[in-house]
Structure 1
Amino acid sequence: MAFSVKDDRTDAAVRRLAKLKNMSLTETIRDAVEQEYQRSRGAIPLAQRLQALAERYRAFPETGAQADKAFFDDLSGNS
């Protein structure tokens, strides 16, 4: 499970950030990667992120059944 950094600039950058944040090298790398993952994930448009869910929903067959308004009104406290 080890990583080996063979680039002097990368090694120096991680060490500078670790020192600045007073964190271990492992914590620094984990934090940086998690932040970049979240940033990159957010860069994907919502419509594209929801596309798989929409396709899955469309794959369900139509039942023809009608929603029971009284049941849902009761659930939400609107009797």
Structure 2
Amino acid sequence: MPFHVRDPEADAMLRQYAEEKRVGITDAIKLAVTRAREADAQSRAAKLAELKAIRDRLNSLPRTGEVADKAFFDELSGD
């Protein structure tokens, strides 16, 4: 299946990447997409780990037993 890059800048970037990696255009595309997906997965994993740390920190705090004052919060929001 042919693949045609219509954007001259993208085409130049792809060809330069292929040359730097010493691979063909198809392999350069596969390599670039694989690396981008891996970077996305690592970024997502890091964000999830950070959120888990925040959640764990909040869950470690002692419960006060206090109940939120609905009337107070309604007044703050203008209701």
Tell me, what secondary structure is at the counterpart of 1:5?
coil
Q: Which runs of 4+ in 1 moved over 3 A?
A: none
Matched to 2:8, the amino acid is D
Tell me, what secondary structure is at the counterpart of 1:30?
helix
Q: TM-score, normalization: structure 2?
A: 0.53
Structure 1 residues not aligned, in runs of 5+: 48-79
Q: 1:12-31 to 2 correspondence within 5 Å?
A: 12-31=12-31
Q: Equivalents in 1 of 2:34, 2:9: separation in Å? A: 21
Q: 1:1-79 to 2 correspondence within 5 Å?
A: 1-44=1-44, 45-46=47-48
2:70 maps to none
The number of equivalent residue pairs is: 49
**Bigger fraction of residues in helix:** 2
Q: Equivalents in 1 of 2:39, 2:33: separation in Å? A: 10
Shift of 1:41: 1.2
Q: TM-score, normalization: structure 1?
A: 0.53
RMSD, aligned CA:
2.2
Structure 2 residues not aligned, in runs of 5+: 50-79
Tell me, what secondary structure is at the counterpart of 2:33?
helix
